[in-house]
Amino acid sequence: MRVVLTGGGTGGHIYPALAIAQQCETEGLEAEFLYIGGKRGLENKIVPEEKIPFESIDITGFRRKLFSLENIKTINRFIQGVKTSKQLLKKFKPDVVIGTGGYVCGPVVYAAAKLKIPTIVHEQNAIPGLTNQFLSGYASTVAVSFQDSVNRFPRSKHVMFTGNPRATMVQNANRERGLASLGLPADAQIVLVVGGSRGARALVEAMVQIAPLLKQNNSSMHYVFVTGEIYYEEIRERIRDAVGSFPYYLHVLPYIPNMPEVLAATSLLVGRAGASSLAEVTSLGTPSILIPSPNVTNNHQEANAWALQKAGAAEVLLERELTGESLLARIDKVMSDEEVRQNMSKAATSLGTPQSAFLIVEEMKRLSGVLSR
């Protein structure tokens, strides 16, 4: 089987695609992959590190101001992107093309549909993005991460609820290795506050405010602040100025390379509400306080976060309400009550979709004519 993967811009669009490739390997499926990404996205770095052949096209998204020079340029890039994608597809001859979100999916999946190659579009968020809404009228199958999203694609030929493939990728993350990587004892309770790989200004500012207010509910509690590399030096210095010497239970890090393992060891996550992050916490049953970014298309992170709160798996704290004091109050509420955490963990687990990548690979087989096992 020959498979083209496409998706990019952020890790939330890239890691689900890589999870599908990993599932094929896990199943022993003989598959060759080509990844088509954008010239400007993180996929340029992440995908080659996974030893997957990579090609790129030049594509950008539309600006909010409809009539603008940049939008005219975007239309031209889309037309050229379709042309380049057709050339790449004709050369590679895939049996199926899978798009996992981001602007780059537009020309690639559209080109595949016009070449009558079977296509799957995966939507990670509760509210579909514009690219996937456009592609849903051309794709063979639309896969969604939230059950409530099934009815949001009226133009699609076939919509199926699969969950997010990232859930499959992290489900067996090892708690002990997560603790060991942080140098923490086996009985540690971790409150993990994550600003994201590129940082989130409002959240890292809250880290500075909260640092001098921290206390331990018990001797095993540890606070781990992940600032993002761009803010690390500044935030660490400001926290040092606020607290003097760091208490042994406060850890400030620029990033965590083994996030699934650390999440498996985490008692409470505080972070954004990106789709891949939520796939991880539901797969691992990690309770969370979610602070959705207000600076994303269609405000989809807020919709993602409310879906988890509705199920009892998370609490939502909107960015406009975020202060060190308001965040600490939420943290104390959860960490002071073991029953609350257990109930949140059970609710998160009930939303997990560990079979997600398997379901998508089965759909790949169906569309490409490979018999399911």
Per DSSP (E only), the strands in the chain are 2-6, 32-38, 54-57, 96-99, 119-123, 141-144, 159-161, 189-194, 221-226, 250-253, 266-271, 288-290, 314-316
Report the alpha-carbon distance of residue 45 to residue 14 in Å, rounded: 11
The burial of 49, by beta-carbon neighbours within 10 Å (0-12 exposed, 13-18 middle, 19 or more buried), is given as exposed
Q: Which of 9, 10, 16 is nearest to 100 (CA)?
A: 16
**Residue-by-residue DSSP string for 165-220:** HHHHHHTT--HHHHHHHHT--TT-EEEEEE--TT--HHHHHHHHHHGGG---SSTT
**Is 37 marked within a binding site?**
no
Query: Is 163 among the annotated ligand-binding positions?
Result: no
Please tell me whether 164 is known to bind a ligand.
no
> Annotation-wise, does 256 bind a ligand?
yes
Q: Would you say 336 is a known binding-site residue?
A: no
Determine whether the annotation assigns residue 197 to a binding site.
yes
Quote the Cα angle for 220-221-222, to 5°. 120
Dihedral of the alpha carbons of 130, 360, 260, 207, in degrees to the nearest 10: 10
The answer to whether the annotation marks 209 as part of a ligand binding site is: no
Cβ neighbours for 50, distance < 8 A, ≥ 6 positions apart = 18, 21
Question: How far is 95 from 163, CA to CA, in rounded Å?
Answer: 23
Binding-site residues, in ranges, read: 10-12, 125, 197, 256, 301
Binding-site residues for UDP-N-acetyl-alpha-D-glucosamine, in ranges, read: 10-12, 125, 197, 256, 301
